[in-house]
Chain A
Amino acid sequence: MSDMHPELRELYQETIFDHNRSPRNFHEMADADRVAQGHNPLCGDELTVYLRIRDGVVEAASFVGHGCAISKASASLMTEAVIGKTEAEVEALFRDFHAMLTGEEDADRDLGKLEVLAGVKEFPVRVKCATLPWHTLHNALTGSAEKAKTE
């Protein structure tokens, strides 16, 4: 796609297509101890995030649902990123991820693989696609019964 806009290429990186096509940890979890649902009423994206926590550490994370390539890839990458982290580390990661998408500069921030989603900040209306899985995860962690929303 030689004539593709640079911003578009930045948004739709290969990793995004890969995770959209074959999302990781894309299944329900019968023995989850934390579950939360997220919904973006604007575009109809819906997902459910499952967590299994042992001694304050995320032992397993998974999700199901439907949405655009950005939200699906973001959810998939998120589950990979949080497995093995403590609840506090996950919350810190969420803050950093959110800061990256809203354009906050921070030279020390290292989001690893999640940085493929940095291009989303050039598309303000799509930021909520990328953050919906994280808001939902946050609700799962804090036990908020309220459905996560991006509105």
Chain B
Amino acid sequence: MNAPDMRRQSCLPLHRAEDFPILERPVRGKRLVYLDNGATTQKPEAVIEAERRFYRESNANIHRGVHWLSQHATDLYEQGRETVRRFLNAARAEEIVFTRGTTEAINLVAQSWGRANLKAGDEIVLTAMEHHSNIVPWQLLCAETGAELRVVPINDRGELDLDAYVALLNERTRLVAVAHVSNALGTVNPVQDIAARAKAVGALVLVDGAQAVAHMPVDVQAIGCDFYAFSAHKLYGPTGIGALYARWDVLRGMPPWQGGGDMIRTVSFEGSTWADPPQRFEAGTPNIAGVVGMAAAIDYVSAIGLERIAAHEHALLEYATEAVCKLPGVRLIGTAREKASILSFMVDGIHPHDRGTILDMEGIAIRAGHHCAMPVMKRFGIPGTARASFALYNDERDVEALVAGIRKAQAMFDGGAAR
């Protein structure tokens, strides 16, 4: 078998067509070409069914009822925690805190660990490619504590300047917060190296895994980070649920950030005492069905295998990169040597929003805009990009539809210019 055949082989979808019912519905009278997976992925039948089944067969509140159904729901919820632990290779299940998603997980760290530990003059190191959700919580924290942000620059390919990173580290650095995969550029950051450098100056490390967990195996112990955040909905799971991994030695010393039921040990008007982690950080009735759905999503991708998914998407990304770059007037934004899933590009003379609308009429869903990463757009001197992002169910037909859609947009705009 020669090389091109190998590629075709690996671009075959990894799922069964019936796994994703939504992909069967036409959009605007066309086959849906869903390439907005960086925003959210579609949900397999297994996830939809797991949530439905939970409400039909297992629904009760958790951690409080003495009745059978409450114990059953609690078991499912805690099994979900164990599923996440295994997925990230955390050392223990208590290191997994359920949150609404990545954003809430990062805010939890900023508000709990950050407020308790940072003071004026301390430094937080971020990178120029962070999503707003890994910038703004730290800005809020800095405003409150007097700590300061330091930003690692990126080069023209969209890779971190690691020399500049090392130069920024010093004894005042308390935290390094970095995306595992950039949502706007697709760059995969060397988080293991980044963490090792941070450790050398005694700083903690938070990795924003929102764009990584669906596209590659993640091992938080191998990375050596203290915090790792992700959302289920970018991992074929439901919206409104995600998780924070926090290393036990750090987590157990962190104060509560939201008060309420479930997070306390005792409550009196003289004062209350806190439950141990992770319950300390899960005030109120959580998204129980969401945890069940997230666990089903993790089981689904684990059964296919993250290595296989990574290989499939990498082949597809290479195919798409080559095809899109052949089009005249198309320029990629983000050409890092290590990339995952994301193809961000500009087309000369066509604003990303016009392109988005024209592709939409072809049934092609992509994202157009700044992708909640305004500093990245500023770095490249552009208002926004068009972004196609791939998932395990995409194949070469989707790339071909994208290329045909871009050609059509160009013909429309050039045709307008010719008359």
A95–B56 Cα distance when bound, in Å, is 51
Is B79 an interface residue, CB under 8 A from the partner?
no
Cβ–Cβ contact A69 & B415, under 8 A = no
- Which of B28, B413, B416 has the most C-beta atoms of chain A within 10 angstroms of its own C-beta? B416
Is A1 an interface residue, CB under 8 A from the partner?
yes
Is B369 an interface residue, CB under 8 A from the partner?
yes
The interface size of chain B toward A, counting residues with CB under 8 Å, comes to 24
Is B161 an interface residue, CB under 8 A from the partner?
no
Cβ–Cβ contact B412 & A12, under 8 A = yes
Interface string of B399-415 (1 = CB under 8 A from A): 00000000010011101
Is B229 an interface residue, CB under 8 A from the partner?
no
Cβ–Cβ contact A70 & B354, under 8 A = yes
In the complex, which residues of chain B have a beta carbon less than 8 angstroms from the beta carbon of A12? 354, 358, 412, 416
Cβ–Cβ contact B411 & A1, under 8 A = yes
Cβ–Cβ contact A43 & B416, under 8 A = no
Is B81 an interface residue, CB under 8 A from the partner?
no
Q: A68-B353, A123-B357 are in contact. Are A44 and B377 (CB under 8 A)?
A: yes
The interface size of chain A toward B, counting residues with CB under 8 Å, comes to 26
Pick from B368, B369, B374, B383: contact of A66, CB under 8 Å: B383
Is B384 an interface residue, CB under 8 A from the partner?
yes
Is B72 an interface residue, CB under 8 A from the partner?
no
Pick from A11, A14, A21, A66: contact of B357, CB under 8 Å: A11
In the complex, which residues of chain A have a beta carbon less than 8 angstroms from the beta carbon of B100? none
Pick from B353, B358, B369: contact of A8, CB under 8 Å: B358
A21–B348 Cα distance when bound, in Å, is 12
Is B325 an interface residue, CB under 8 A from the partner?
no
Cβ–Cβ contact A43 & B383, under 8 A = yes
B385 to chain A, nearest CB (A): 10
In the complex, which residues of chain B have a beta carbon less than 8 angstroms from the beta carbon of A52? none
Cβ–Cβ contact A45 & B415, under 8 A = no
B30 to chain A, nearest CB (A): 10
Cβ–Cβ contact A18 & B383, under 8 A = no
- Which of A7, A17, A18, A126 has the most C-beta atoms of chain B within 10 angstroms of its own C-beta? A17
Is A145 an interface residue, CB under 8 A from the partner?
no
Within A1-33, which residues are at the interface with B (CB < 8 Å)?
1, 4-5, 7-8, 11-12, 14, 16-18, 20-21
18 A–B pairs (Cβ distance < 8 Å), ordered by A: A1-B411, A4-B412, A7-B361, A8-B361, A8-B412, A12-B412, A17-B416, A17-B419, A18-B416, A44-B370, A44-B374, A44-B384, A46-B383, A66-B383, A69-B350, A69-B413, A126-B353, A129-B353
Which are the 7 A-B pairs with shortest beta-carbon distances?
A17-B416, A44-B383, A68-B351, A68-B353, A5-B361, A69-B354, A68-B354
| Chain B residues close to A by CB (< 8 Å) | 28, 350-354, 357-358, 361, 368-370, 374, 377, 383-384, 408, 411-413, 415-417, 419
Since A5-B28, A14-B416, A46-B383 are in contact, a sample of 7 more A-B pairs with Cβ atoms closer than 8 Å, ordered by chain A residue number, is A1-B411, A14-B419, A44-B369, A44-B383, A67-B351, A68-B353, A68-B354
